[in-house]
Amino acid sequence: MNNLFARVHVDACLRLLRVWVLVLLSVAAPAGCGKGGSPKAPAPAAQPVQRAEIAGVAIYRRALAAQDSEEALRLLEQATRANPHLAEAWYDLGRRKVKLAPEIVKTNELQGMQVFREGLEAEKEALRLLDAGNVTIWGADEEEQARAVLTTDLANVDEALAEQDSLLRALRVRTY
């Protein structure tokens, strides 16, 4: 009887072992059916593409939004340092300085002339960049308007910038 009991016990263990082998094979078989052996890890989710900010543009936009003219000038100068090819920043910097100079010259002639010179130089740089095709933000209409203003402002600019007296004369024409 002990022999019979041992044999039944061995048969039961073998059946249980076969069941486990079949279970393991059924689980492992689909994973190994693909090409190349082991399954590849799923690809990570694609990262959203972020547009790179063009240097100086954010500063330029803050300058346009600034209520204080000194703050706007400071930000425009910062924008031109951050991106020397940003024609729009050079244009607005030049326009603001050219418009500000006649008020300054009434109380401080040397400072007014310096601001006027800086404004004209900035406008010259803006026109040079526009001519080179460095328009970053503006559309065609805005560029055309800027060119019209620059044509007027920069008429005879080299003559005006050539010497102190001619610069002062050009500034006084705008002042009085």
Query: What pLDDT does residue 49 have?
Result: 41
Query: What pLDDT does residue 50 have?
Result: 42
Q: What is the 3-state secondary structure (H, E, C) of 89-123?
A: HHHHHHHHHHHHHHHHHCCCHHHHHHHHHHHHHHH
Q: In 3D, which of 145, 47, 149, 48 has the Cα closest to residue 96?
A: 149
Predicted confidence (pLDDT) per residue in 7-38, tens digit: 545 565 556 556 555 555 565 555 555 555 55
Query: What pLDDT does residue 160 have?
Result: 87
Nearby residues of 83 by Cβ (< 8 Å), 6 or more positions away: 54, 55, 56, 57, 89
Quickly state the pLDDT bin for 94 (edges 50, 70, 90). very high
**Mean per-residue pLDDT over the chain, rounded:** 80
Query: What pLDDT does residue 59 have?
Result: 83
- pTM to 2 decimal places: 0.67
CB 95 within 8 A of CB 80: no
Q: Where are the alpha helices (DSSP H) in 33-108?
A: 57-65, 69-82, 87-105
CB 53 within 8 A of CB 47: no
**CA 124/CA 45 separation, integer angstroms:** 49
- Of the chain, the percentage scoring pLDDT greater than 90 comes to 43
Predicted confidence (pLDDT) per residue in 156-166, tens digit: 888 888 999 98
Quickly state the pLDDT bin for 62 (edges 50, 70, 90). confident
**DSSP 8-state symbol, 140:** H
Query: What pLDDT does residue 4 have?
Result: 46
pLDDT above 70: residue 172: yes
